[in-house]
C-alpha cells in the first residue's frame, strides 16, 4: 500500500512539522569509484549523532547518477538500515525522486518498501514540459508517497517555476513540505505566495535549501497578503547540502534560531552568522566556478575530517575546481569556530567500526 500523509508515523510527522536538520547525504566512494559501504555507514552515523532529525538520500548531493550506476536501491537501503540500527529516536527518511513519471513512481514505490517517509521530487527531467504536465507528474507521485517539493536552483539543473505552479503544487493533498532552494530571493517569495494562495500554510512545512541565506530564512517572518489580510509564514528547518558538513554546528544553529523566534528577539550576533555561513558555503559549493565543484567541495570537508577517503564522484570529470581547495582553506581559517572537527575526531573510530 502506498504510504500517505494520513498514516505517516506521528513522531515523524511532528518532527517534520516542528522543523529539523536534514542533511543531504553524500555518496562515499573508494579510489576506484566503487561504493564504499563502510564510510557511507559512517556518514549516516555521524549525522545521527550530530543530532540531525532526518536524512535526505538519493538527492543532488548524493549524485543523481547513482541510478545509472545501479546504486539507487543499495544507497537508500543502507541509510535506512543504518539509521534503524543506530538510534531509537524518530528519524525522517526522505528519498530523492527524479526522472520521467514512470521512473519517479517506481522510485517512490521502492522508497516506501525501504521505510522512507517522503520523497523529495526533482523536476529537472521534465524541462520543457508545460505546467499541466508538471502538475500531473507531481500528482502521480503524490499518490505513492508524501511529497517534499524541491525548488532546485537552475544553475545545477532546476527549472524556473512561478507562483502559479507553486499554488497548484501546494494544493496537492499529499504535499507535506517544500525545500526552497532557488538561491534567489524573488523565486523564494514565489513559493511562499503559492503556498498562501493554496491555503496550505497549516499543512505544508517550509524547509530552506537556500545555502546563500540559511540563517535569514530561519529567522525571518515572511508576510504574504491574502484577501486583505497578512499571512505569516516561517521556514522551520533546513534540508541542505551545506548541512552535510559541520552538521553538529548546524543542529545548534537551528536550535538558536528556534529559540530566538520563540522569544521574539533575534539579536545582532545571531544575524551576523548569516554572512559567515554564506561565506563558508561559497567555498564548499564553488560559487566562483558556477557551482561546478559543489559536491566535491562537501566531500573535501568530510575528507579532511576523516569521514571520507577522498573527494571522488561517479563522474571522473567532476571534482574540485581550480582554487577551490584554497578557498576551503580560507574559510576554515576565517570561520573555523563553525566547524565540528573536534566532535568528528572524538567519534570517528566508532562510526567507522
CATH number at residue 84: 3.20.20.70
Q: Which structural domain, as residue segments, surrounds residue 256?
A: 5-266
Confirm whether 328 is domain-assigned. Answer: no
Phi-psi sector, 11: left (phi>0), alpha (psi -120 to 50), beta:
alpha
Per the CB < 8 A criterion, the answer to whether 53 and 41 are in contact is: no
Confirm whether 66 is domain-assigned. Answer: yes
For position 158, what pLDDT does the model report? 75
At 283, list the grid cell: 567555498
Confirm whether 295 is domain-assigned. Answer: no
Confirm whether 242 is domain-assigned. Answer: yes
Helix 247-263 vs helix 268-284: angle between axes, to the nearest 10 degrees?
150
Compute the distance between CA of residue 178 and CA of residue 205 in angstroms, rounded to an integer: 7
At 59, list the grid cell: 538527492
Q: How many domains does the chain have?
A: 1
**What is the full per-residue pLDDT of the chain (353 aa) written as tens digits?**
344 444 689 999 999 999 999 999 999 999 999 999 999 999 999 999 999 999 999 999 999 999 999 999 999 999 999 999 999 999 999 999 999 999 999 999 999 999 999 999 999 999 999 999 999 999 999 999 999 999 877 767 778 899 999 999 999 999 999 999 998 999 999 999 999 999 999 999 999 999 899 999 999 999 999 999 999 999 999 999 999 999 999 999 999 999 999 999 999 999 999 999 999 999 999 999 999 999 999 999 999 999 999 999 999 999 999 999 999 999 999 999 999 999 999 999 999 99
Query: Which segments of 75-162 are extended strands (E)?
Result: 92-97, 118-121, 147-152
For position 155, what pLDDT does the model report? 67
For position 1, what pLDDT does the model report? 37
Longest dimension (CA), the chain: 60
Confirm whether 171 is domain-assigned. Answer: yes
Confirm whether 230 is domain-assigned. Answer: yes
- Enter the DSSP assignment of 145: S
Confirm whether 76 is domain-assigned. Answer: yes
Confirm whether 329 is domain-assigned. Answer: no
Task: Specify the pTM.
Answer: 0.95
Amino acid at each position: 500500500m502506498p504510504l500517505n500523509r494520513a498514516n505517516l508515523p506521528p513522531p515523524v510527522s511532528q518532527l517534520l512539522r516542528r522543523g529539523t536538520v536534514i542533511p543531504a547525504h553524500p555518496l562515499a566512494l573508494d579510489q576506484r569509484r566503487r561504493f564504499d559501504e563502510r564510510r557511507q555507514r559512517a556518514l549516516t552515523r555521524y549525522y545521527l549523532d550530530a543530532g540531525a532529525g532526518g536524512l535526505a538520500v538519493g538527492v543532488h548531493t548524493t549524485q543523481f547518477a547513482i541510478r545509472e550506476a545501479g546504486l539507487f536501491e543499495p544507497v537508500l537501503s543502507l541509510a535506512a538500515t543504518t539509521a534503524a540500527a543506530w538510534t531509537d529516536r524518530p528519524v525522517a527518511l526522505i528519498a530523492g525522486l527524479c526522472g520521467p513519471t514512470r521512473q519517479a513512481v517506481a522510485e517512490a514505490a521502492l522508497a516506501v518498501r525501504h521505510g522512507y517517509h517522503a520523497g523529495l521530487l526533482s523536476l529537472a527531467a521534465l524541462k520543457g514540459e508545460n505546467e499541466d504536465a508538471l502538475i500531473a507528474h507531481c500528482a502521480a507521485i503524490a499518490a505513492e508517497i508524501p511529497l517534499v517539493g524541491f525548488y532546485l536552483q537552475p544553475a545545477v539543473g532546476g527549472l524556473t517555476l512561478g507562483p502559479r505552479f507553486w499554488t497548484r503544487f501546494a494544493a496537492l493533498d499529499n504535499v507535506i513540505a517544500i525545500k526552497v532552494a532557488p538561491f534567489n530571493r524573488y523565486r523564494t517569495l514565489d513559493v511562499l505566495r503559492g503556498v498562501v494562495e493554496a491555503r496550505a500554510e497549516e499543512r505544508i512545512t517550509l524547509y530552506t535549501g537556500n545555502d546563500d541565506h540559511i540563517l535569514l530564512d530561519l529567522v525571518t517572518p515572511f508576510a504574504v497578503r491574502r484577501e486583505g489580510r497578512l499571512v505569516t509564514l516561517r521556514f522551520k528547518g533546513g534540508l541542505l547540502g551545506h548541512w552535510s558538513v559541520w552538521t553538529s554546528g548546524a543542529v545548534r544553529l537551528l536550535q538558536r534560531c528556534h529559540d530566538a523566534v520563540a522569544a521574539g528577539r533575534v539579536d545582532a550576533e545571531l544575524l551576523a552568522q548569516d554572512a559567515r555561513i554564506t561565506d563558508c558555503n561559497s567555498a564548499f559549493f564553488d560559487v566562483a566556478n558556477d557551482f561546478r565543484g559543489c559536491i566535491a567541495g562537501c566531500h573535501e570537508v568530510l575528507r579532511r575530517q576523516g569521514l571520507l577517503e577522498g573527494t571522488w564522484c561517479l563522474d571522473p570529470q567532476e571534482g574540485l575546481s581550480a582554487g577551490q581547495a584554497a578557498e576551503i582553506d580560507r574559510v576554515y581559517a576565517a570561520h573555523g569556530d563553525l566547524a565540528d572537527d573536534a566532535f568528528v575526531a572524538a567519534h570517528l573510530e566508532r562510526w567507522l567500526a
